[in-house]
Structure 1
Amino acid sequence: MPRLVRRLSAVALAAGLLMLTGCGLLGGASPDASPNDKVEKSTIRVGRLALVDAIPLHIAIDKGYFEAEGLKIELSTMGRGSDGVDKLAAGELDVGLTSYPQPLIAHTKGVAKLKVVADAVETTPDLILAVVKENGPITDARQLAGKKIAISSKRGISELVMTDQLTSMGVDPKAVSFISMPITDMPAALGRGDVAAAIIAQPPLEEAKQQGAMKLLDPFTGPTVSFPWSGWFATEQFVRDNPRTVDAFRRALSRGVTNVSDRNVLEQSAVKNLGTKEGTARMMTVPRFPSTTDPVRLQRVADLLAKYGEIPKVDSPQGVRAELDMRSMVLPPLPPALWATTTTGN
């Protein structure tokens, strides 16, 4: 009888363990649950643009920096930065790469409450250009009145800075038609004459120049020189629910940033991960990849958006300022030892 009791007890214990496992109390329930104790969510969905902006991410993936943090990156590619904002709002991405205006507009309008996880790119001369057909009819930016200009996202950063540049030239920006399309489609659209000009970033810019596109204007000069171009964003809820995951992502990405100071590493990653031709990679202009996320620097974007009525503004002795204080969107810095200042040139 005691032997039978022991056998029945063992069976009951095994059944109980199976039930606990099935309910997730032993870590096997939710597909989103992390299989390690480093992070809350071990697989995160990241949206990138096929631009030089994404290279630190790819380097961090290739060198195993995310894996070392207990993270697996499920990567998808977007044609426009605004796609990233839409996918974050819909819960289809955990982290997305996009230029700054769209997420700031969405945040202030309550469409998606967002946080800047990390700064991505600051412009350098000739990084992003307004280009036209070589030997075409447009030779001066003032001639763009009444014409079509290709941009990546409506109300995005290209439209914002071009609006500012045209206004300073005495051209009414409302006289220009901004046409949204993926950056990779712009060279062909320019060649067909579908648009009179296009605002193109690297590396597609270098490819467009090789196909006969000619520089008309560098929009990131004067008041918009060394301007914040793009960043990595997540929703406030994701950051709140997954603080260790977000910090792990930031640490791995920052290690990728330290690697882009080596031009050879940067070019090799562009060829491997962006599909850039080797000759194009050697020729392309590269940005500054900030190693810290400075809300004072990012405030320049918010204030320019406020100047043109895209987000609420307040009057100040310094002129029009955004009601949005970028300190409210930027995460506290990681310990300084984990970041290294990295500036790359041509």
Structure 2
Amino acid sequence: MTVLLLSAALGACTGNTDHQVTSAPRGAAPTAGTKACAATSDARASTEPVTLKVGVMPIADSAAFYIAMKKGYFTAERLTVEPVTVQGGGPAINMMKGGQLQASIVNYVTAFIAQSKSPGTLTVIAPAYQGAPGAFKLMTTPNSPIHRLADLATTDTKVAVATLHSVGTLTTKMALKAEGVSDGRVAFAEVALPDMSHNLDQGMTGVAWMTEPFITDWRDRGGRELYDVVMAGEAALLPIAGWGLTADYARNNCDIVQRLQRALLRGQHDAAADRAEVLDVMRTYTKIKPDVLQRITLGRFPTQFNVADLRHLASLVYTYEQLDKPVDVKAMLVPAPLPTITAPMSPAPATTSPAATPSSSPMLGRS
């Protein structure tokens, strides 16, 4: 499998993979194929400047990218990044396969589905976001006749999600099951996250799957919460998104991938350490008012892959999406490279505010 070779192959760029894995999955043996990356990347320590188009979304999940851009972490790696707004994981994966993007934020659910249908085509180089109570909710209008999820089974109301076959549809199906409602009785409609409020206002859908900052903004406008989809049970604290790219691009551009990964992880560490920095940078790429941003509920910014949690999520995807075969999660993950920087870095500004949303994962975490 291409990605199975890739996770070890990227380690070959540094000459060692052992230091990159803090805990291996139970019963797993080291992966083979460590020559794959070296065979396609002769200049392992290249500092050639590169321009990358990276898919982002105007939500908290993308905060680490914008922090890294603001603080010069990409520049330090001689990378010029051009953010491109995507509607969700499905469109982003298609754009990466088509060459319009080199990397993108992707929700793990969509990535796992794509990987199951076409093994060895995707890889994830860094975690981006993890769920927390209050960070993802089903919302409705103030005067909606829908007061509980069971009401969806007796109406023609559609549930708006950013994209189908995604974390939005999965967590909604899980919530419906928890409330004893068959998801076969509920229809979904694709709506871009920034358009959810307008969609509800116009009555095009009766319920919307929202994340921050749109939850707080909609609540301020009188919107009503219907269900917190990642609060408890099977859905508690689910991993939500990571930074992905195609296996072909990663295999053929080992050095560039490592440079991108280092910059993203530096931004991720900053996001995990300082809520104020996350809110400050979100002002630059969302259209939400500053006073609303101050009150949003953030998820978590893990700084390592939590293999156990990702496998749990993959098993849920396998069940709820009725996949033909399970996904080899570990094969999709690229361990962190050595912390070598290819160009001098400007010193990061000192911060004193404590982390409001620390990472729950202490690059591969517990398995």
Once residues 344 and 239 of structure 1 are traced to their aligned partners in structure 2, the CA distance between those partners, rounded to angstroms, is 34
Aligned counterparts, 1:242-281, within 5 A: 242-260=253-271, 261-281=273-293
Identify the match of residue 66 of structure 1 among 57, 66, 74: 74
- With 190-199 and 257-266 compared, the bigger mean Cα shift is at 257-266
Report the residue type matching 2:255 in the other structure. R
Q: Which residue of 2 aligns with 1:299?
A: 311
Q: Which residue of 2 aligns with 1:13?
A: none
State the shift of 1:171 in Å.
0.8
Other structure's SS at 1:57 match: helix
Q: Which residue of 2 aligns with 1:160?
A: 170
State the shift of 1:112 in Å.
7.5
Report the residue type matching 1:254 in the other structure. L
State the shift of 1:136 in Å.
2.3
Q: Which residue of 2 aligns with 1:24?
A: none
State the shift of 1:128 in Å.
0.8
Long gaps (5+) in structure 2: 1-43, 342-353, 359-367
Once residues 169 and 264 of structure 1 are traced to their aligned partners in structure 2, the CA distance between those partners, rounded to angstroms, is 36
Aligned counterparts, 1:1-346, within 5 A: 38-39=46-47, 42-110=50-118, 113-145=121-153, 146=155, 147-221=157-231, 222-260=233-271, 261-313=273-325, 323-335=326-338, 344-345=356-357
Once residues 166 and 355 of structure 2 are traced to their aligned partners in structure 1, the CA distance between those partners, rounded to angstroms, is 25
Contact 1:106 1:112 in 2 (8 A): no
Q: Which residue of 2 aligns with 1:3?
A: none
Long gaps (5+) in structure 1: 1-35, 314-322
Contact 1:296 1:326 in 2 (8 A): no
State the shift of 1:81 in Å.
2.7
Report the residue type matching 1:256 in the other structure. G
Once residues 260 and 104 of structure 2 are traced to their aligned partners in structure 1, the CA distance between those partners, rounded to angstroms, is 12
Give aligned pairs, total. 301
Once residues 344 and 293 of structure 1 are traced to their aligned partners in structure 2, the CA distance between those partners, rounded to angstroms, is 20
Contact 1:89 1:112 in 2 (8 A): no
- Cα deviation, 1:6-27, whole Å, max 9, x if unaligned, reads xxxxxxxxxxxxxxxxxxxxxx
State the shift of 1:39 in Å.
4.6
Contact 1:45 1:74 in 2 (8 A): yes
Contact 2:55 2:103 in 1 (8 A): yes
Other structure's SS at 1:74 match: strand
Contact 2:88 2:107 in 1 (8 A): no
Once residues 71 and 118 of structure 1 are traced to their aligned partners in structure 2, the CA distance between those partners, rounded to angstroms, is 17
> Using a 3 Å threshold, how does the CA distance of structure 1 residues 331 and 167 change in structure 2: closer, same or farther?
same
Report the residue type matching 1:200 in the other structure. M
The alignment yields a C-alpha RMSD, in angstroms, of 2.4
- With 301-310 and 237-246 compared, the bigger mean Cα shift is at 301-310
> Using a 3 Å threshold, how does the CA distance of structure 1 residues 37 and 324 change in structure 2: closer, same or farther?
closer
Contact 1:40 1:245 in 2 (8 A): no
Other structure's SS at 1:185 match: helix
State the shift of 1:40 in Å.
6.2
> Using a 3 Å threshold, how does the CA distance of structure 1 residues 289 and 105 change in structure 2: closer, same or farther?
same
Once residues 230 and 160 of structure 1 are traced to their aligned partners in structure 2, the CA distance between those partners, rounded to angstroms, is 13
State the shift of 1:336 in Å.
8.2
State the shift of 1:85 in Å.
1.2
State the shift of 1:37 in Å.
5.9
Other structure's SS at 1:250 match: helix
Once residues 161 and 172 of structure 2 are traced to their aligned partners in structure 1, the CA distance between those partners, rounded to angstroms, is 10
Report the residue type matching 1:303 in the other structure. S
State the shift of 1:337 in Å.
10
Contact 1:39 1:242 in 2 (8 A): no
> Using a 3 Å threshold, how does the CA distance of structure 1 residues 271 and 109 change in structure 2: closer, same or farther?
same
Contact 2:275 2:355 in 1 (8 A): no
Q: Which residue of 1 aligns with 2:3?
A: none
State the shift of 1:144 in Å.
1.2
Once residues 253 and 343 of structure 1 are traced to their aligned partners in structure 2, the CA distance between those partners, rounded to angstroms, is 18
- Cα deviation, 1:259-287, whole Å, max 9, x if unaligned, reads 22222221110112223311111011111
What is the identity percentage for the equivalent residue pairs of Structure 1 and Structure 2? 26
